Amino acid sequence: MQWLAALSVRRPVLATVLILSLTVIGAFSFSRLGVDRFPKVDFPTILVTTVQPGAGPEQIETEITDQIEEAVNTISGIDTLSSNSSEGMSQVVIGFALDKDANVAAQEVRDKVNGVLPLLPRTIQQPRVDKFDPDAAPVLSLALVSNQPVREITEYADKVLRRQIESLDGVGQVLIVGGRQRQINIWLEADRLRAHQVTVTDVARALQGQNIEIPGGRMDQGPLSVTLRTEGRVETVEAFGDIVVREHQGHPIRIADVAQVEDGEAEQDTVANVDGTGTVLLQVRRQSGTNTVEVVRGITDRLAGVRATLPAGYDLRIVRDTSEFIEASIRAVEEHLVVGSMLAALVVLLFLMNLRSTIIAAIAIPTSIVATFGLVWYMGFTLNSMTMLALTLSVGIVIDDAIVVLENIYRFIEEKHDDQFEAAIHATREIGLAVLATTLSLVAIFVPVAFMGGIVGRFMKSFGLTMAFAIMVSLLVSFTLTPMLSARWLKVQRHGKNRHASKDSPIFHTLDVFYTRLLEWAMARRWAVAGLAVLVLLSSVPLFSVASKNFLNDDQSEFEINLRAPEGTSLQSTEIVANRLASAVRAGVGEVAYTLVTVAGDPARTRNLGSIYVRLKPIEERARDQFAIMTQVRADILPPLAKGLRTSVQPVATIGGGGNQNADLQFITDAF
């Protein structure tokens, strides 16, 4: 690498264009980088969902779940196989080894499920095979509240709000929780059915056969081509009563003769409320791989115009926003990055006591960091907690090579009275191998982190490679830009017998005296120093055991309380229990801003399953952190009220897609 330094000194335009090109590419890449909390990680987990309306859990288990499990169990690479059979729904979760390609696994599962279809009941819906999607967790939840009937609120949320939001770039799906859709209800009367000798099946058959629209093909009429269809759909609610069920002795028996037709609403299957006030909740999911922050920003910009067009009496508020914590985390890391860069430059100025030397060395920080963005974008990474942490930690490392090269050039000019151009070349050549060895040793530390195994390795890949990228760019800067600038811009006072060197400054003299005395003391007590070093090394074992350990757990000012009532509990009873717990949390914890209760919000619409989302006040307005509050809720508030319930208090899931991915501890038993 020494030849590169000599070339850069003699060809300053080459060094300038080289570093400037990397910086421009990095700046351009920075504008295209996505912002997210965690790196994009693909889990080779496949979900098979089968729906059979009206079937009981036992029937689902024996006729569907067991058949699918037996079929897919022969696929190679399966790590875990679990299932959940509930009323009307079967869900089989197949977890593969991490080295299994998710697309290949999905196709193999799909082939096995297609092969077992003839053995499944004919009344099932087509089984759906989906890959586990970490991006499936809602990124935004909107609460629509009004004094209107819930059917009217649901109609507005479904027909107006949902379509406006789903039309935005990056929005994948909008789910409605707590609503009740408009529905035409046919209320049959048993006495009239018996009097007219009509069965329920007759009524159902009449509705299916006379409320249809059948395509009739195409008819050519000279130069025209006409599409034909039989229009048989009922246009009004009253027209349902005119549908003929059967004829008896020449007289038609209509639906109005045996039933009442009502323009009503669907049966309630989910519940949502904010602080006890009923609401229709819109949960927004982003498209897989899209930028969470950009998607949420687009939605909030659209909501600014939507609120102006809301009907009278309607109110729309954001109750969950995952981008808030992401943006706060990125801003905090960016602040640390800037402050760390300034402190590193300040330390250089303190010891070199030369403004030009400080600027030359400090230039390595922005050029190395900005150029690294190009490699981060090329690798498909995003600006997340891992990559930003790597860039922050690299601030103190990327300036090291520049300082070493600069200091040696300074020494050559000051002590050997060399020409600045020759000093830059010879000084860099003298320590080139040492700088190269030091840099490569650091790269050798961080690159293996990118190849760790397991789930942690998937998260740490971007961290290790980003650190390695930044360090290698800093090496390039120290062998090109630093010697070139030193040769042309560095001003050094050459010293002789009557002139003091820069190392004779008061700061260096104080450090030199202190270090000399410390070294003399240590050399006179070698065994004591060696024993102390061994004790310090061994102390890491007990200190590690008592230190708090977690993986990416931060105070997000929010957590969830999940509850499951006894099997058979109705939707209304589960709502009462959940509201009671939410009220106790609001009353017992002063740091709570509001609570959001949802019941049967899971894909299976489990009626005895509830969730309480607890939003806390901002961290600067609280004396305790989120985890202390969770401990209080878990230990003091839930036990008196949660008898007969299965409850858990945990941070909000940041990885969606199904299963218990956010559980701190999972206990799995095998039945034989």
Query: What pLDDT digit, counting tens, does each position of 481-513 carry?
Result: 888 888 888 776 665 444 445 566 677 778 888
The pLDDT score that the predictor gives to residue 505 is 64
Structure tokens at 212: 């249809």
Q: What is the pLDDT of residues 182-223, one digit of tens each?
A: 888 889 988 888 888 888 888 888 888 888 777 777 888 778
- Whether residues 173 and 242 share a domain: the answer is no
Both 430 and 484 in one domain: the answer is yes
Q: Are 453 and 531 in a shared domain?
A: no
Per the structure, the count of domains in the chain is 6
463 within a domain of the structure (yes/no): yes
Average pLDDT score, the chain: 84
> Does one domain contain both 57 and 13?
no
pTM of the full structure? 0.76
C-alpha Rg value of the chain to the nearest Å:
35
Cβ neighbours of residue 241 closer than 8 Å, sequence gap 6 or more? 254, 255, 256, 259, 261
User: In terms of domains, do 150 and 297 share one?
Assistant: yes
pLDDT at 143: 92
Q: Are 356 and 291 found together in one domain?
A: no
Same domain, 582 and 446: no
- pLDDT at 555 > cutoff 80: no
Same domain, 298 and 351: no
Res. 547: pLDDT tops 50:
yes
Q: What's the average model confidence in pLDDT over 633-655?
A: 84
**Are 407 and 514 in the same domain?**
no
Classify 261 as helix, strand or coil.
strand
Number of other residues whose CB lies within 10 A of the CB of residue 3: 11
Question: 501 vs 303, which has greater pLDDT?
Answer: 303
In this prediction, residue 418 carries a pLDDT of: 67
Nearest alpha carbon to residue 241 among 214, 229, 224, 259:
259
pLDDT at 502: 58
> Tell me, what's the pLDDT at 407?
83
What residue numbers bound the domain in which 172 lies? 143-179+274-322
Residue 334 lies in a domain: yes
Q: Per-residue pLDDT averaged across 61-79, rounded?
A: 90
Rounded (10°) CA dihedral 141, 143, 149, 152: -50
Predicted pLDDT at 659: 45
Q: What are the pLDDT digits (tens) for 94-126? A: 988 888 888 899 999 999 999 999 889 888 888
Please report, for the domain that includes residue 420, its CATH number. 1.20.1640.10
SS3 275: coil
Local confidence band at 257 (pLDDT 50, 70, 90 cut-offs): confident
Q: State the pLDDT at residue 658.
A: 45
Q: Do residues 408 and 428 share a domain?
A: yes
Q: Is residue 659 part of a domain?
A: no
For residues 537 and 464, state if they share a domain: no
pLDDT of residue 346: 84
CA distance 409 to 130: 61
- Per-residue pLDDT reduced to its tens digit, 213-253: 777 778 887 788 888 777 778 888 888 888 888 887 778 88
d(CA 116, CA 72): 9
CA-wise closest residue to 430 among 443, 412, 449, 403: 412
Higher-confidence residue of 411 and 633: namely 633
Residues 6+ apart with CB under 8 A from 601: 177, 270, 272, 609, 611
pLDDT exceeds 50 at position 370: yes
